[in-house]
Every structure is written in C-alpha cells, then in structure tokens.
Amino acid sequence: MHLVGFSMRSLLRSLAILFMAGSLVTHVSADSIHLLNVSYDPTRELYEEFNQAFAKDYLTKTGKQVTIEQSHGGSGKQARSVIDGLEGDVVTLGLAADIDALHDNGNLVAADWQTKFPHNSCPYTSTIVFLVRKGNPKGIKDWPDLIKPGIQVITPNPKTSSGGRWNFIAAWGYALKANQNDESKAKEFATALYKNVPVLDSGARGSTTTFVQRELGDVLIAWENEAYLSFKEFGADKFAIVNPSVSVLAEPPVAVVDKVVDKKGTRDAATAYLQYLYTPIGQEIIAKNFYRPIDPQVYAKYSKQFPNIELFTIDQLFGGWKAAQPKFFADGGIFDEIYQPK
Amino acid sequence: MRIEAKQLIRRFGGIIALDGVSLTVDDGELVALLGPSGSGKTTLLRLVAGLDFPDSGRILFDGADATTLPIQKRRVGFVFQHYALFRHMSVEKNVAFGLEVNRRQFKMGRHEIQDRVSELLRLVQLPGFEDRSPHQLSGGQRQRVALARALAIEPRILLLDEPFGALDAKVRKELRAWVRSLQQQLKITTIFVTHDQEEALELADRVVVMNHAHIEQVGTPAEVHDFPATPFVSEFLRGTSLQTVPASH
Amino acid sequence: METVSPIPISHPTIRDPLVVRATLLLVAVAFAVLFLLVPLLAVFFEAFQKGITGYLAALGKPASLSAIQLTLLVAAIAVPANLIFGVAASWAIAKFDFPGKTVLISLIDLPFSISPVTSGLVFVLLFGARGWFGPLLSAWNIKIIFAVPGIVLATVFVTFPFVARELIPLLTSQGSDEEQAALSLGANGWQTFWRITLPKARWGILYGVILCNARAMGEFGAVSVVSGHIRGLTNTIPLHVEVLYNDYDYVGAFAVASLLTLLALLTLLIKAFLTWRRADLVPG
C-alpha cells in the first residue's frame, strides 16, 4: 500500500515535468513570427518548398524570423475547420467558394477578398486530367470513355474536396459543350459517370492513394499537378496521363484571414507571404510543382509540361462559384440528386 | 462487557428485519443467535457491531449509549463468515492491521507489534505462519487468522457471523471446541450467529432463537431444548440432541 | 455415484477423424497468420525498407518527434485523469446505492457506443469558434479546439470507460467484507480506501490503465476532428502516420506506425501478465 502512495507521488511529479515541457514546446521564442497556412490536399510539396524560400527572403528583407506551419486536408473540410476556429493566418484553398464560406460564416474575410491580390487572388492555375494504368489497358481517351460500363472511376467527394468539385464541373462542362448546352443531357452524363465511382475519398490526396497505392480503379480524375506528382513519385512505367479534349481552368485562390491576423498581429507577414507567391521565384516554385504559373515568362519556360487543352472557366459556363456552389453542391443540390452512396 | 439491546427496529425498504428486539448479554457470556435465514440474527449482530444502525431503539455497552457510536470506536472484534482476510497482505500484516492503523492508541513500536502478532498466532495455534499469504491457507486456518486479527485490538466484544458455516464437518467440530475453550480462557463477551441448532446448543451459554424479525425464546441450551416456549422453537429444534462439550480439552 | 458404468468413457475429441482436426487447426492458423501476423510483419518490413538508419532517420524528423511528444503528453494527462475518475466512479458504484446509479453506469459506457468522429464533433460544437463557448473562449484568448487542450479533451472522452469498466465488476465481485473488517479494526474511511480497496484491486486497475493508455495513444477518429492537422504542432502519432502516408513517405509512415505496433505488443504482454497475476489472487 505504501507502493501505491509512492507511485502516485512520482506520477504527479512526472506529470508536472511533462506539463512544463509541453508549455515550453508551445511557447517557443515569442519574438519569431508564426504563420499557419491552412491549405488543401495536393499542395503539400508545393508549400514545403515555397515556405523555406519565403522564410529566407523575409529574413533578409526584414530581419524577422518567420516560421510557417502547414495544415492540409480536403479544401471544404479545411474551410470548415477555419470557421470552427482553426487559426490560419492565410488560407490557400482549392476554390473560391470555400473562401466565400469564410466570409459567409463568421465574417473571417472581407466580401471582396478576391480583389486583394492580383489575378483574382489566384497565383496559380491548374486543370483536370486523367491518370490511367500503364499502357492504358481500358483505352480511355476522353470523357465519354469514363461512362462506359465496367470502367471504375476514382474521384474525391465534391462535398468535402475542391478537386472533387473541379472534377464534377469539368465533366459537366464537357457534357454541356458536347450537347449544345443541354442541361438534362449533362445531368445524364454526370449520373452515368458517378455510377462508375466505387469510393469517394474526402480529399484529392486520398483519391490519389486509393488509385496509386491501393490500385483501385481504371482511371483517376485528378488535378494536373497531382497526376504529374504521382508520375514523378512512381515513375512512368506504372501510369500514363491522358489529357481530355475539354477541361476546366481550375483557379485555386488564396486569402489572408482578416480576423485571425488582426487578433495575432500578423497581417504584414501574412500579406508578404501571399505576395511572394506572385514573384518570379514563387512562380518558379509553383511551376516546378506542376501548377500552372500565371506569370507569362515563367509559364513560357515550363510550357512543355503543360499540354494545350481547351479550357473553359467557371465564370464562362456557370457564372462563377457563387452560382455553381449552391446549384450543384448544396444539400439537395444536383450532386445529391444524381449520386446514391453505395 | 455487558451489552443491552432495547427495542431495536430495522427496516430495509419495505422489509422489516428487526421488529422491536430487546436482549441483554452479560459480561463474559457466550451467546448464540439461532434461527433460519432471514430471521434477523445477522442484522442484530451487525447493529451491535456498528456495521449498521437501527431505525429506532438503543444499544448500551456497560450502560453507556452506543447506538450511534461509529464502528471504529466500539472496539469490537468481528469475524466474517467468509473470513474477509486482506487478500493482498501476509498473515502477519493481516493480524497487525488493527494495531498499525491505531498506532497512537496502542503506542506500539514495530517490534512490539511483531511480538504481539507472534503471540496471537500462537494463541490460534498457527505459530510461524507470519509470512504466508491468505490463499495458501486452508479454510480452518483462515478462520483462525481472522480470529487472531480480531483479537489483536483487544476487543471488548467478539462477534462471529456464521463462523463455521464455510468449513467442512470435521474441521467445524474441532474448531467449535477450540473456540469455546478460547472464549473461556479470554473471558470475552461473545455473540455468534448460526443457523445450525447443534452448534448453538453445544457452544453457547445461552441461546437466542429468532424467527421473522422477533426473538422467540432466550434460554440455556437445556431450557430451549427441553422446554421450547413456542411451536416454532419446538419445530426448529426437533431431532437435535443435547450434548455439552468439555470446558477445555 | 451409485452405479459404475461398465463401458469405458470415450474422449470424443480423440475419436474425431484426423482430417477434421487438421482442417480446423489449419483454418485457425491460416486466419491468424493472414489477419494478424502478416499485417504485423508488413509494418516492420516497410519500416525497415531503408535499413535501420532509414528507420531511425524517419523517427528522428522534427515532425515525427513532435508527434511522439504530443502523444506522450496527451496520454500522460488522459490516463491519470481517467484513472482517478474510474476509481472514484467504480468505487461509488460498487459500494454505495444512490439515486441515478444506473444512469451513471450507462453514461460511463457512452463513449464506447458513440462513433469517435461524433465525439470529436461534440467538442467542435462546444468549443469551436461558432460553438456554444466559442465566443467566450475567443474573448479570453483560450484555444481548445485545434490545439493541445482539445486533443486532450477528446482523448479523455474516448478513453473514459476503460478503467471504470474494468473496476466496477471487480469491486462488485470482491464485495465489501474486507472494507468492513478494516473498519471494525479501527481504520477510518481514508485508511480503508488506500490500504484495502486500492491494493486489492491494483491488478484490475493496472489492467484498465494499460488498455486506457493503448487507446489514448492510438485514438484516431476523435482526435482527427479536433486536431486541425497542423504539422509539428497538433498531429499525434496516428494522425502523423496518415500525413506521412499521404506524403508518399512510406518508410516514415510505417516507422512511426511501428511505434504504435510495439505499443500494442507491449500492451498485449502486460495484459497477459496481469491476467495471470490476477488469477493468482483468490479471495482471502
């Protein structure tokens, strides 16, 4: 019984030590700036490289140490976390609607956030392509091939993933163009397409691992950069990239989260961070990670890795995300109508 | 010590366990509470011990009111039916427990306690069993350790709840005779509960026959055996023979 | 036994055809190997793909170290908290009758019957920026969700039942005779609790603590919801495994996962020891 008393005491002591250690960890050097970049799934490699470049540049220019922490997940889910209190100084999400949500729920960003940075606050673009197994055994060449019976299509859940939404929009846009803007035909096409989807992962990276690692499915509808990354990681001997005839110009936007930076006093650093994405060095890193840079010179330099696909924008066909988001992806929207979970 | 129970009433929910029971046990006396299960005998014992408290009525120890006295202050030696030895302690620690938790009261050092434990173990005929663990002992040995533990605090009363109930017949007979002689040697007021008629008649100075929360009859073994006061007592004791055990052996 | 059977009693198991026995055994072993051993070996195989230096390097990365540290911290808070609660609750339940006792017993089981994801969301609902207490916490500049306190809370909630569930049946079956004996020998309530109740249940307590700890360190669902997934800050070991896996860092993912596997094996070992030790403790 003395043993119990003793171990209780020593337990308390070690707990106290742990607490102190814990608080040391969480309060490292108050004079350095900490930024949290809440981002979507496929940007992991991009920002890992970009953050280092920015921190170095910021130190030389201002003499201030800045550390950038990263959080990644499905774009919609990440937006939800920021709304629920995840204190991201900046958000770099998959599509504008997710940042609009930050304004609509809790006024975390201004309504005109998209005017704060050049090019509608989209420092890079991308598109949607297909990744297929080596040698393309199912002969997938374009969108109509995806709705053939027996084809398994891997794409993430549009409710939680921006990639999933761009995929949906790309497919819908193709169907509109192929059927003289006939909405009911587009709906038929989308219905048939999602019938061929065996699983909906919550984020683009989840879908990629499903296709690449778990080897499920015949075709992955993916971000162009995600497709090239898989290509780079696993080699050309396992996969092939197929460019569809028509696709969407995906514009992943960035924003400073006003409410957070004002509370933390990090507005200057956060703004500088996002501005750095537009510099030649930032654009170069973007291109190297297979995102399409908006700087024409950098784009020209890397143009070989970006094939010419006929790209439409969400504004042209759908009147922007403000219109498309509620129409397709709200509860009871078109996606809910056409997709029955298996 | 003299124990007086006056008009004790104890209810459990809607069931009445003791319905106005009064009893006097004289100093040094060995009294058996005899009755079928549910007759209230164990409840009465627990009230005397302070493990439970009456809804009304009084308990006097040597004339002083002890009704609400907490169990720790009563200095009773209580022996449980299933011994209730502390399973995680050695025999020595078990017997020493009462002395160790009351160090201030007993003013005993470590060595004095050790000596006292050895002495008690000799008394219950288990010398040298100090380092054994309870699960290494037989039922009869456990019962004797329980008795030594109860006696360690020099109790004013000894209370035994079905002390031989869990033992086999042969050990029970031996232990009975031994308890009787020990009680006479220590001259300690003792109450024990039993549902075994022969055990009660054989051991006790006086037998208290209980039924349905009442006392049916109080008397010497010869009185209750030969002159049952109620049909219940007559029925309950039918077929038993009266035999006395020698005072010591 | 008044009659003695003239026919010798046969042992049916020996009479079973060899084929049946062999098939059953084979099926059992095959299942164990396929579903238990192979995945276990696969974890270590992947973890050591780049040799011991690759393994250690993967574990030594700052993000991995911080995940390990956070997991230890969370367990170091959650386990003692649930130990204290579990002992108190099971003692109260086993020893006393009080109104609402059955409600308390069912409440203790609640975390087992709720999906961990829901458990996590409950805390978001309570402490999230738009939750019940969100504005208040924000005004006081207290961070719970997407920070260490939220992870601790979610873990405490999920591991809540382990100690109590282990102890309630144990204390109930042990009864209160020993406690009453201690009281009759002059011990006060406090002495009785520390010297009798706790030590006699110590193997059961340890058993509960071990299970509680394994779950606290391994919890994914609830923690994932409240973590915010900030690398190097709010990722516990299980979350970090997922992050590494999704980063295509398979050696890293499995190296970190191997820690949880080792923890599982250790837990199993201690469990086996405790089961054996407790069987030894027959009632005195």
Q: Which two tokens stand for residue C175?
A: 């009864």
So what's the pLDDT on residue C161? 92
DSSP 8-state code for residue C16: S
C12 touches B at CB < 8 Å: no
Helix axes C237-246, A204-212, angle to 10 degrees: 70
Pairing verdict, β B15-25 and B157-161: unpaired
Distance of CA C129 to the CA centre of its chain: 30
N-term to C-term CA, chain B = 26
Collect the ranges in chain A with pLDDT lower than 50.
Answer: 1-8, 11, 19-30
Distance CA C29, CA C37 (A): 10
Contact between C189 and C95 under an 8 Å Cβ cutoff? The reply is: no
Contact between C146 and A87 using a beta-carbon 8 Å cutoff: yes
So what's the pLDDT on residue B48? 95
Work out the pLDDT band at B23, boundaries 50, 70, 90.
very high
Distance CA A261, CA A279 (A): 22
How many contacts does B have with C, using Cβ atoms within 8 A? 79
Nearest chain A residue to C70 by CA: give it.
A22
Q: Which residues pair with B191 in a beta bridge?
A: B31, B159
pTM for this prediction: 0.79
Helix axes C161-174, C101-113, angle to 10 degrees: 140
Buried/exposed code over C92-120 (b: 16+ C-beta within 10 A; e: otherwise): ebbeeeeeeeeeeeeebeebeebebeebb
Contact between A298 and A284 under an 8 Å Cβ cutoff? The reply is: yes
Distance CA A21, CA C257 (A): 24
Q: Which two tokens stand for residue A12?
A: 């308390």
Of C72, C80, C128, the CB nearest to A84: C128
pLDDT tens-place string over residues B47-74: 999 999 999 999 999 999 999 999 999 9
Q: Is the pLDDT of residue C6 over 80?
A: no
So what's the pLDDT on residue B108? 85
Residues of A in contact with C229 (CB under 8 A): 71-73
Distances (CA, A) of B200 to B83, B150, B179, B182: 20, 21, 13, 16
Element housing B27 (H / E): none
Buried/exposed code over B64-87 (b: 16+ C-beta within 10 A; e: otherwise): eebbeeebbebbbbbbbbbbbbbb
Of C182, C187, C284, the CB nearest to B134: C284
Contact between C278 and C167 under an 8 Å Cβ cutoff? The reply is: no
Element housing B41 (H / E): helix B41-49
Q: Which two tokens stand for residue B83?
A: 């011994």
User: Could you tell me the maximum CA-CA distance found in chain B, to the nearest angstrom?
Assistant: 57
Distance of CA C30 to the CA centre of its chain: 28
What does the mean pLDDT of chain B come to? 90
Residues of C in contact with B72 (CB under 8 A): 183, 186-188
More confident residue, C83 or C8: C83
Distance CA A88, CA A106 (A): 14
pLDDT tens-place string over residues B181-229: 889 888 999 999 998 898 899 899 999 999 999 999 999 999 999 999 9
In this structure, the number of other CB atoms found within 10 A of the CB of residue A73 comes to 27
Q: What ipTM describes this predicted complex? A: 0.88
* Residue of C185, C195, C278 to mutate, interface with B, max B Cβ within 10 Å: C185
More confident residue, C258 or C130: C258
Minimal CA–CA distance to A226: which of A161, A139, A151, A163? A163
Nearest chain B residue to C178 by CA: give it.
B84
Distance CA C141, CA C136 (A): 9
Contact between C200 and C174 under an 8 Å Cβ cutoff? The reply is: yes
Average pLDDT value for residue range C243-251? 87
So what's the pLDDT on residue C99? 87
So what's the pLDDT on residue C17? 77
